[in-house]
Amino acid sequence: MQRPFEGIRVLDATHVLAGPFATYQLAVLGADVIKIEHPEEVDQARFMGADPDLNENWMGTNFLTQNTNKRSITLNLKSEQGREIFKRLAADADVLVENYRAGSLKTLGLGYDNIKALNPKIIYCSMTGYGQQGPRAHHTVYDHQIQANSGIMSSTGTPESGPIKTGTVFMDYGTGTTAAFALSAALYQRAQTGEGQYIDVSMLDVAIVMQAASITGHSVSGKVPGLGGNKHKYASSELYQTKEGQLMMGAANPGQHRRFMAALGLDHFAHQSYAQRDAQRAEETAAIAEKLMEKTAVEWETYLQERHVPAAILRPMNEMLEDPQLKTRGILHQHESVENVDGPVTVPVSAFTFAEGGPQVDQPPHPLGADTEAVLSELGYGESEIAAFRKEGAV
């Protein structure tokens, strides 16, 4: 079955993580994504990641993880000829995604209004830290600055540790996912109306939405989330040490709580109201902690899940990657061969599957500028013109 975005051309003028991840999601769903990089000031993700040798080769793992299914060209937008080529690409594109500092492309004559004049049906998406307007629109930030600035870090950690950022760049991937959703919505809207669209995606906005319950709670009560660590409001929903390993519990609602207490033989806690559970939290916590020390985390997870009680072992990523459940999902793809990379490379594809025509990997990430000549030829440029562009530093 045809994938959703086959026949859609996307210009990817993004770098690092959030922007490239947004276009990657369109790419695995069939879009023809053309990644545009400066010939010298390349996407910094190319030299970021777990393997120093790959970083040296400009094929860092941070780049590899979200540039599958894309073509790579170099284009110097600071040159007049580079801008002209960009406009010719945009005139025939369906989507343009950029994450330069707010207003940067507009200054170069490549803003939404400029491109819309060439292509009224273009869907133009700008991704920044704080959006296109406001007192902080010009600020440059990354994932961890948004975590710090948005309130997320102030509720992550313990009173002893102080605020702590998350161990992964979840704001980048959350913003990339949000942008991919917005682009999908805009493409559907265009199919109904025939009109293009401008999309303004802000990492701060995504951070606020990802704290939705806390935001609403604060608006009603004035309470600000604190540093609760691994504790939940109720004793039956937090991290516990077992005989071997740790177990994260999630027996929150009354039915789960009753089953959990019955499974532990703590029936005197089983039929408490929410208010009673709150009032006797310390006693319940102590009783659960003592009981869970009788078995290992593995044993408890099996025992409790058989009784429909939410429980999960705390484990590192490498163990999760060997989990048989993950192997049934098909969300990881192993590239057996990637140019300029020794050995296979495994990348996540997408966090969902379709029965037919869903996310799919077609080709590995490409070295810098590997498709420049092919793409420029598609625009009608001849070999001599392309050679002149190279000599002038336009590509």
Two tokens at 64?
């590899």
Among 94, 172, 278, 362, which one carries the catalytic annotation? 172
Distance between CA 251 and CA 228 in Å, rounded?
18
Report CA 337 to chain centroid distance, whole Å. 25
Two tokens at 100?
């330069």
Helices (H), the chain: 18-28, 52-56, 61-64, 80-91, 104-107, 112-118, 143-150, 170-193, 203-209, 212-221, 254-264, 274-279, 281-292, 297-305, 317-320, 324-327, 372-378, 383-392
Q: Are 261 and 234 a contacting pair, CB within 8 Å?
A: no
Two tokens at 366?
């490409």
The DSSP line for 299-355 is HHHHHHHTTT--EEE---HHHHTT-HHHHTT--EEEES-BTTB-S-EEEE--S---S
CB atoms within 10 A of CB 246: 15
Distance between CA 5 and CA 26 in Å, rounded?
7
Catalytic status, residue 53? no
Task: Provide the annotated active-site residues.
Answer: 172
